[in-house]
Structure 1
Amino acid sequence: MIEFRQLPDDHPDLASSPLLRAALLTLRYAQEHNGIGLTSNKAFKRVFVHWAAEHFDWPDMSYDELFSVNKVLNEYDFPPLELLHFLLVELKLGRHYKGQFKITKRGAELLAHPAQLVDALIPFYLMNMDHSSYSRSGDQAAGNWDVWFNVLNVEAEDGGTEVELYEVFYGKLSNEPMAWRATSSFYCCVLRPLCWAGLLSSQQDQSARRSDASYFKTQLWRSWLTLDTDDSVEPAQRH
């Protein structure tokens, strides 16, 4: 079972969440600028996409990194923003009105209460989105969030790589040429969403491959989640 503790709005661990930070910035921008301009396809206009790329401070997608492969940025060039736009509209925190993205009354209420915003945003993002649509293979990882959370609660205390954590759930990785599809779907459906939510963090050398990164629970994980395996977690070994 997964339970979420009610944190105070000024709890420092809320800062661990890139998704929450981006939502707060976007809602505040819409409030202060009386909306955000939309294209004819109802995507955010480039002026805001560029602003978001600069201010979101998104892990592994800095402003300079995004512009190293793009001369200009459209919403689809910055996947976290495209995702966030969908979530804000789906959760009725923002709406489209006369070519603008407008903050709603509910959006304004939650903007003033970040702890309530995280409660609305992150569980919906993790448990209601089709994360396989963001993977190269389109494959859905086998399992459910109750199992993933409770096992990672123990296994990610000391950290583990993508393959190491995959093998905890699914057994030894095959040597077949297409075995990457299995770890890729696990990354896209479990590890990356947890990182974007701010519940896991990845650590790796700049020159290393993504698959060499190790994943660790964040302080937000520890302060916000109550899980069945909490009594089985041994203190992390710090070197």
Structure 2
Amino acid sequence: MMHDLLLNAKLARHRKGALHITRLAGKLRGDPSALWALLAQQFLFATDHTDYTRFGDRPIGNWDIFLNVINVEAQQAVSEERLCHVLYAPRKADGRHDDIRMKAALFIHVLRPLCWMGLLEEVRSGAGFKREEHYFKTEIWREVFKLDTDIHLVPNTRH
């Protein structure tokens, strides 16, 4: 995955049977924030994460919708179940989702990449079938994204 990311972001290329950094990568070595921004842009919005799914499923929606919903819902903490509820409405009479593939697509295409880029923090509790994951926005999220839904956020109380 990292190999493909570096090639697609034009930070590396193959030459004479070896992988070499490009001039762009050399320039960005002295500017970590610009390097992170380029890698985040490529990894989140340009990389096709379908290869990492079992069935080739994609989540329904786009990044604008996902980021704005997560921005509001993850202000305190949000579970995958809650995100699916907000994004796709409940599928069962009890308000729960049973579409595992839909949740998996959301995780693989949206939540995991956001976690890997340090924008969300995943906290797990429980074990086995009772395991739950909750997602929190990190300070990086607040620095990187300026979203339409920011006006609806109530600041967290810190003690």
TM-score by length of 2: 0.88
Gaps of 5+ in 1: 1-82
Q: Is the 8 A contact 1:162 1:213 kept in 2?
A: yes
Looking at structure 1, the residues matched to 11 and 47 of structure 2 have their Cα atoms a distance apart, in angstroms, of 17
Cα distance in 2 for partners of 1:226, 1:210 equals 35
Distance 1:208 1:216, change over 3 A: farther
Distance 1:161 1:237, change over 3 A: farther
Q: 2:55 aligns with which of 137, 155, 161?
A: 137
State the match for 1:108 in structure 2: 26
* Structure 2 residue aligned with 1:217: 137
Structure 2 stretches of 5 or more lacking a match? none
Structure 2 equivalent of residue 165 of structure 1: 83
Aligned residue identity for 1:189? H
Give the C-alpha shift of residue 218 in structure 1: 0.7
Superposition map of 1:76-115 within 5 A? 83-115=1-33
Question: Structure 2 vs 1, CA of residues 238 and 118 (structure 1 numbering), >3 Å: closer, same or farther?
Answer: same
Give the equivalent residue in structure 1 for 2:66: 148
Please state how far the C-alpha of 1:174 moved relative to its aligned partner: 3.9
State the match for 2:125 in structure 1: 205
Cα displacement (A) at 1:96: 1.0
1:180 matched residue in structure 2: 100
TM-score (norm 1): 0.60
List, as ranges, runs of 4+ consecutive aligned residues in structure 1 with deviation greater than 6 Å.
Answer: 175-178
- Which residue identity lines up with residue 29 of structure 2 in the other structure? L
Greater relative contact order, per chain length (Cα 8 Å cut-off, separation 6+):
1
Is the 1:158–1:237 contact (alpha carbons within 8 Å) kept by the matching residues of 2?
no
Corresponding letter in the other structure for 2:7: V
Q: Secondary structure at the match of 2:101?
A: helix
- Report the Cα distance in structure 1 between the residues aligned to 2:138 and 2:85, rounded to whole angstroms: 22
Q: 1: CA distance between counterparts of 2:34 and 2:121? A: 22
State the distance in 2 between where 1:210 and 1:120 align: 38
Task: Determine helix, strand or coil for the equivalent of 1:124.
Answer: helix
- Give deviations 1:139-179, integer Å, cap 9, x for gaps: 11010111111111110111111111111110114489961
Distance 1:96 1:209 in 2: 44
Q: 1:210 to 1:120 in 2, by over 3 A?
A: farther
Root mean square deviation of aligned Cα: 2.4
